[in-house]
Amino acid sequence: MKKLFWILPTILIISFIGCEKGSTGPALEYTIGDYFPLAVGNEWVYEIKLYVDDSLESTDTLTMTITEIQQWNGRMVYKESFINYYVYFEDELRNYVGFPSDTTPYFVLLKEPLEEGNSWSFISGFTDPSSIIEIEDVDINVSVPAGTFDNCIKVRLPFITPADWVWFYALEVGLVKQVLKSTEEEITVQELIEYEVH
């Protein structure tokens, strides 16, 4: 009975401390890896539709698969099935067309902090206002053939009017939708139709 007298209060104190710690901790912060998960075997299948004058002109599919991991300057480089290479680089996700080098140009797809209003230069070395990309929303719902995704990040690259490029990234999935408005009459929509993420 004496053991029970000491065990029960100890369990209650541990439980109380555990609950208190969890409830008073800082809000969970997501990283680029949470919105653009990279691992060998991850695969995303997209349907791409081209609209001209509001009429569907063509439809195609695109499959993107992470096929291998390589090393460059002490960093992991994720090779995609075409010519894209992705590198988490400090607080940003870089997309190289071809294997990275110190002189290879790259695109910055996402940059931390992942918060509304954060902006950066989309193309390495360019500071022209037409190449500035911005996170417009961090809590948007997006519906595509693969499902409805909550808490998506909306990123916009406003080219010279009327052109516009918008990406939607879903938590633990990656890119779920992309819309490229190249002219007033021509719009390309890329939507996720299936995926496998490890």
Given this model, what pLDDT does residue 10 score? 29
pLDDT score of 47 more than 60:
yes
Nearest to 193 by CA among 24, 43, 37: 43
- Per-residue pLDDT tens for 77-121? 999 998 899 999 989 999 999 999 988 889 999 999 999 999 999
Angstrom distance (rounded) from CA 97 to CA 79: 10
The answer to whether the beta carbons of residues 31 and 138 sit under 8 Å apart is no
The answer to whether the beta carbons of residues 59 and 19 sit under 8 Å apart is no
Say what the pTM is: 0.82
Strand partners, 65: 43
Q: pLDDT category, 51, cuts 50, 70, 90?
A: very high
Angstrom distance (rounded) from CA 85 to CA 104: 11
Rg (CA), the chain: 22
Given strand 132-144, what is the order of strands in its sheet? 106-111, 92-97, 84-89, 75-80, 55-72, 43-52, 186-196, 174-181, 164-170, 147-157, 132-144, 119-121
Domain segments of the chain: what residues?
30-196
Residue 113 preceded by cis peptide, ω within 30: yes
Domain 30-196 has CATH 2.40.360: yes
pLDDT score of 68 more than 60:
yes
Nearest to 85 by CA among 67, 63, 59: 67
